[in-house]
């Protein structure tokens, strides 16, 4: 069995996360038992939710245990199998974590899923046709309940979730408006992803200024908002929400360093009778097949053109992760391992 490089969570952050919170080790890969497969990871996924799990605090998921491999999504191939359902060479998506190999009890529900790379590149199963894409689908379809002609806004629009949200909204006949950081990301959102407009939040020093720009992009107000950021961006959007608007609350990356995120205009929730619902997509596995089918078709047909930021080698994961938390990535952040 191969030697296996692994990244562990060595200590918990105090304030901002640092590269020194992680530790690189090499471990022996255990021999397979009946029903298990050995997966060689090609890519691992870096996602904002991982920052919250580094804290030992009450949240929607258990904290990442200290001294253990950082948990997260992976795609790769089966290189050894003692399970009749999986053959050597099968391409699979799973939750193998920040390491080169994982031993998977493949019969456990949700542990491993075979994927077809004929029309969808393997890496996209960690982004547009994976958890981020399904996250966008659930928020838009089940919470916002998007309808033709409505205006839908998403923050972090150039990222893995935001880009999928735009394609899904356009497929439903909606006006899709993104909020992103920097002119390059905004051009990508409109020119490649097909959003109707994109606002560069970095051009605005406060919620009032950003809200004016949102008003220009959304002359009929906002019917649905998909929130990834929080803070000033959310304040600006709330000022433009229509009555009975709906907000899918997915992420609050503005507060992932532990700082509180005050809301400037909470009275607007009442004034406009807004529905705001937080959600975790792993609690809604029943929608994944339907969502993945639509997302796969959007990618395969070229209607969704995901972009990826790819760091090379396991050793690069901590710095890539910290950069993603500051918005340095462009699209889905991955680490390439082979």
Beta-bridge partner residues of 152: 176, 224
pLDDT at position 275 over 80: yes
Domain final residue, candidates 249, 265, 282: 282
Co-location of 82 and 198 in the same domain: no
pLDDT at position 257 over 80: no
What residues contact residue 189 under an 8 Å CB cut-off, 6+ apart?
157, 158, 162, 163, 166, 178, 180, 195, 198
pLDDT at position 254 over 90: no
285-302 pLDDT tens trace: 999 999 999 999 999 899
Residue 252 confidence class, pLDDT cut points 50, 70, 90: confident
Number of domains in the chain: 2
pTM: 0.91
Q: Domain holding 163: CATH number?
A: 3.40.50.720
When pLDDT is averaged across residues 158-166 and rounded to a whole number, the result is 95
Return the structure tokens found at 180: 């992103």
pLDDT at position 58 over 80: no
Residue 12 confidence class, pLDDT cut points 50, 70, 90: very high
Give the pairing of strands 151-155 and 222-227: parallel
How far is Cα 51 from Cα 327, in angstroms, rounded to an integer? 14
Residue 249 confidence class, pLDDT cut points 50, 70, 90: very high
Angstrom CA distances, 172 to 8, 118, 148, 253, stand at 42, 26, 6, 28
176-215 pLDDT tens trace: 999 999 999 999 999 999 999 999 999 999 999 999 999 9
When pLDDT is averaged across residues 6-12 and rounded to a whole number, the result is 97
pLDDT at position 61 over 90: no
How far is Cα 122 from Cα 141, in angstroms, rounded to an integer? 25
Co-location of 123 and 135 in the same domain: no
Domain that holds residue 94: 3-127+307-336
CB 330 within 8 A of CB 188: yes
Co-location of 25 and 122 in the same domain: yes
Phi-psi region of 333 (alpha: psi -120 to 50; beta: other; left: phi over 0): beta
Residue 251 confidence class, pLDDT cut points 50, 70, 90: confident
Co-location of 183 and 262 in the same domain: yes
Q: Which residues of 124-142 are buried (b: 16+ CB within 10 A; e: fewer)?
A: bbbbbbbbbbbbbbbbbbe
Residue 327 confidence class, pLDDT cut points 50, 70, 90: confident
> Residue 288 falls within a domain, yes or no?
no
Co-location of 118 and 201 in the same domain: no
Co-location of 190 and 105 in the same domain: no
How far is Cα 64 from Cα 35, in angstroms, rounded to an integer? 26
How far is Cα 225 from Cα 251, in angstroms, rounded to an integer? 12
Task: Determine the angle formed by the axes of helices 160-171 and 131-138, rounding to 10 degrees.
Answer: 50
Co-location of 107 and 209 in the same domain: no
Residue 333 confidence class, pLDDT cut points 50, 70, 90: very high
65-118 pLDDT tens trace: 999 999 999 999 999 999 999 999 999 999 999 999 999 999 998 899 999 999
211-239 pLDDT tens trace: 999 999 999 999 999 999 999 999 999 99
pLDDT at position 255 over 80: no
């Amino acid at each position: 069995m191969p030697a296996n490089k692994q990244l562990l969570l060595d200590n918990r952050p105090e304030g901002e996360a640092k590269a020194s919170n992680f530790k690189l080790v090499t471990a022996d890969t255990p021999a397979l038992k009946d029903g298990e497969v050995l997966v060689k990871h090609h890519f691992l996924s870096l996602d904002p939710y991982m920052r919250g799990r580094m804290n030992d605090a009450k949240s929607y998921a258990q904290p990442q245990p200290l001294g253990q491999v950082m948990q997260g999504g992976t795609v790769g191939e089966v290189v050894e199998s003692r399970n009749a359902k999986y053959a050597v060479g099968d391409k699979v998506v799973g939750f193998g974590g920040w390491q080169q190999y994982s031993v998977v009890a493949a019969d456990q529900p949700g542990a491993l899923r075979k994927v077809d790379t004929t029309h969808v590149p393997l890496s996209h199963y960690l982004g547009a046709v994976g958890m981020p894409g399904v996250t966008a689908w659930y928020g838009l379809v089940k919470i916002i309940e998007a309808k033709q002609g409505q205006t839908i806004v998403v923050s972090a629009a150039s990222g893995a979730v935001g880009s999928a949200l735009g394609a899904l909204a356009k497929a439903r006949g909606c006006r899709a408006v993104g909020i992103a950081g920097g002119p390059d990301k905004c051009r990508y959102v409109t020119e490649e992803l097909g959003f109707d407009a994109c606002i560069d939040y970095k051009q605005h020093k406060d919620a009032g200024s950003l809200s004016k720009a949102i008003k220009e992009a959304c002359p009929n107000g906002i019917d649905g908002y998909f929130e990834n950021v929080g803070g000033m961006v959310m304040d600006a959007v709330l000022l433009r929400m229509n009555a009975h608007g709906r907000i899918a609350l997915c992420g609050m990356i503005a507060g992932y360093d532990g700082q509180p995120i005050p809301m400037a205009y909470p009275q607007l929730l009442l004034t406009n009778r807004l529905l705001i619902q937080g959600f975790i997509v792993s609690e809604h596995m029943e929608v994944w097949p339907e969502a993945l089918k639509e997302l796969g078709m959007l990618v395969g047909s070229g209607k969704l053109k995901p972009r990826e930021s790819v760091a090379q080698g396991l050793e690069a994961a901590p710095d890539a992760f910290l950069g993603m938390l500051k918005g340095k990535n462009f699209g889905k952040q991955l680490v390439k391992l082979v």
